[in-house]
Amino acid sequence: MKYTVVLPAAGSGKRMKADRNKLLLELSGKPIFIYTLEVFEQDLDCEGIWLAVKGDERELIEQYVERYGIKKVKGYATGGAERQDSVRAGLEMAGQPEIVLVHDAARPFISPEVIRELAERAHESGAAIAGVPVKDTIKKAREGVITETVDREGLWMIQTPQAFRYELLMEAAQRAKDDGFLGTDEAMLVERMGHPVKIVESTYENVKMTTPDDLIYGKAILASRLQEE
């Protein structure tokens, strides 16, 4: 199933303890977001990539895109204060594809098989998101004391990509804006419309580069992939 992808890339380096956008940090000599772009560049079903970037980083990001020979970037939207604003800006520029994927530029290890499955499920049912079953024991605590052990059955850690029929996501995004609702992911906007969202089992490698220890994990993933080649 053909699709267009919107990549929010307008975050900061705060939790990464970096003095610049964490996506520009390098893993084995290449910026994190280039790995992400390469996955979509190589996927024959991907018809175009829209990047949401900070205004003052646009030129630098464009230079990287050119240097690494990424041809599918169709344009750049100006990101906003919240991730949801950045995604919305990207969606508004993306034309009107039948299927749109939203994927964090900070998740460079997404598998092509998961992308394919998501696009197909979204085509069938409107909305499908990537996730993995929770592995750890989950408890709730208040003031440092456990109040509840949560049953792990049916609990998922949600990732991106999140795939949608474009019209459905745009309607959900518009409603969220009208209501002043801020979700932590795109699926939440669709869920609050009462539309079912399918889950597609992804991989634990599809980690978001968020804190410094994620970089260690990222390097290990790259090393193990190189060994497999």
> CA–CA separation, 207 vs 107, rounded Å?
6
Site string for ligand C5P, 2-31 (x = CB under 6 A): ------xxxx-----------x--------
H/E segment holding residue 186 = helix 186-191
Contacting residue, 83, 121, 165, 195, with ligand C5P by CB under 6 A: 83
Q: Compute the least distance from the CB of residue 129 to ligand C5P, in Å.
A: 15
Hey, what are 22's tokens? Answer: 């964490």
> CA–CA separation, 5 vs 97, rounded Å?
10
Site string for ligand C5P, 157-196 (x = CB under 6 A): ----------------------------------------
Query: Residue 129, interface with ligand C5P (CB under 6 A)?
Result: no
Contacting residue, 43, 203, 208, 221, with ligand C5P by CB under 6 A: 208
Contact call for residues 67 and 77 (beta carbons, < 8 A): no
Hey, what are 206's tokens? Answer: 């599809």
Hey, what are 205's tokens? Answer: 């490698």
Query: Residue 81, interface with ligand C5P (CB under 6 A)?
Result: yes
Query: Residue 111, interface with ligand C5P (CB under 6 A)?
Result: no
> CA–CA separation, 106 vs 22, rounded Å?
8
Contacting residue, 170, 210, 217, 222, with ligand C5P by CB under 6 A: 210
- Give 185's contacts (C-beta < 8 A, 6+ positions apart): 129, 158, 160, 162
> CA–CA separation, 117 vs 97, rounded Å?
17
Q: Which of 102-110, 117-125, 135-143, 172-180 is the region at the interface with ligand C5P (rule: CB under 6 A)? A: 102-110
Contacting residue, 73, 76, 86, 102, with ligand C5P by CB under 6 A: 86
Query: Residue 110, interface with ligand C5P (CB under 6 A)?
Result: no
Going by C-alpha positions, the residue among 197, 188, 163 that lies closest to residue 91 is 163
In the complex, the residues that contact ligand C5P under the rule CB under 6 A are 8-11, 23, 52, 79-83, 86, 104-106, 208, 210
